[in-house]
Structure formats: C-alpha cells, structure tokens
C-alpha cells in the first residue's frame, strides 16, 4: 500500500510549479498504478493553452471557479466544485481560472514527474519502467 500526504510533497521534485499552475504529483509512473494522480492548483486570472496529445486526462474540481474552452468546437464550459471533465479525445483546450482552482487530475499513461507543457501545450511522452515491472 502507498500512503502519501500533500504536505510531504510540497517543495520536493514532485511539486512542479509554473507561472500558471502548481502540480503536486501524488502518484507517478514509477508507482506502477498505470495512471498518475495529481493535485493541481491553477492560479487566479490565468489562461493556459493545453493539448495533451500523448495523454488522456480526467480533471475533477474541488475548489474555485473557472472555465474550459474546447478549441475544436468553441464551446465554453463552466468549472466549479463538483464538475469533472475528461479529455478523452486529446482535446485541445484553454483553461481559465476566475479564482484559484484546486483540481484532482489523473493521467494515462502516468506522468514520470518531470513534465511541464512545451510551447504547444503538450507533455512529452517519457518512457519509464515502473518499479517491480
């Protein structure tokens, strides 16, 4: 069994901070779960272009308010506590935070922990052999 606390991750290599968001990575590829699990804080007033062409991501909002724009259709969806979105088609999107948002994020394939968005809003696919497998 794996048990981790957010407070133990703060300030370590698993606490990835960019201009628009901070991602505390609770489970990573090396944990061998087949997905990674993160708590992401999106800073108030930010807009982030994201395109996970190598990954699927589900996002569940637990705090804060914002919106997501689907760049394929132009549709804009409000994000608030209790809302989940899943990028099942590697959807290109813009994420806007009206207030600071706290999001629980799951990635498949699992992130290795080092990823930040490149200029195209993409995370690279980093191969890593999981512990014990």
Find the binder of ligand 9YT among 28, 29, 59, 97 (CB under 6 A): 59
Whether the bond between 31 and the residue before it is cis, its omega within 30 degrees of 0, is no
Report 14-33 residues binding ligand 9YT (CB under 6 A): 21, 23
3-state helix, strand, coil in the chain (%, to 5): 5, 40, 55
- Nearest distance, CB of residue 94 and ligand 9YT, angstroms: 11
Q: Is 93 in the site for ligand 9YT (CB under 6 A)?
A: no
Q: What burial class does residue 3 get, using C-beta atoms within 10 Å of its C-beta: 0-12 exposed, 13-18 middle, 19+ buried? A: exposed
Find the binder of ligand 9YT among 26, 35, 38, 66 (CB under 6 A): 38
- Nearest distance, CB of residue 74 and ligand 9YT, angstroms: 19
Q: Is 103 in the site for ligand 9YT (CB under 6 A)?
A: yes
Within 1-133, where are the H helices? 6-9
């Amino acid at each position: 069994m794996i048990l981790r606390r957010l407070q133990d991750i703060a300030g370590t290599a698993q606490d990835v901070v960019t201009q628009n968001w901070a991602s505390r990575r609770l489970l990573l590829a090396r944990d061998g779960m087949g997905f990674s699990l993160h708590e992401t804080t999106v800073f108030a007033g930010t807009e982030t272009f994201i395109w996970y062409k190598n990954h699927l991501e589900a996002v569940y909002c637990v705090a804060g308010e914002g919106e997501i724009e689907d760049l394929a259709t132009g549709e804009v969806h409000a994000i608030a506590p209790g809302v989940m979105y899943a990028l099942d088609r590697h959807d290109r999107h813009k994420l806007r935070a009206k207030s600071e948002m706290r999001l629980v994020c799951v990635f498949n394939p699992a992130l290795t922990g080092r990823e930040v968005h490149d200029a195209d809003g993409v995370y690279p696919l980093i191969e890593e052999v999981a512990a014990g497998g």
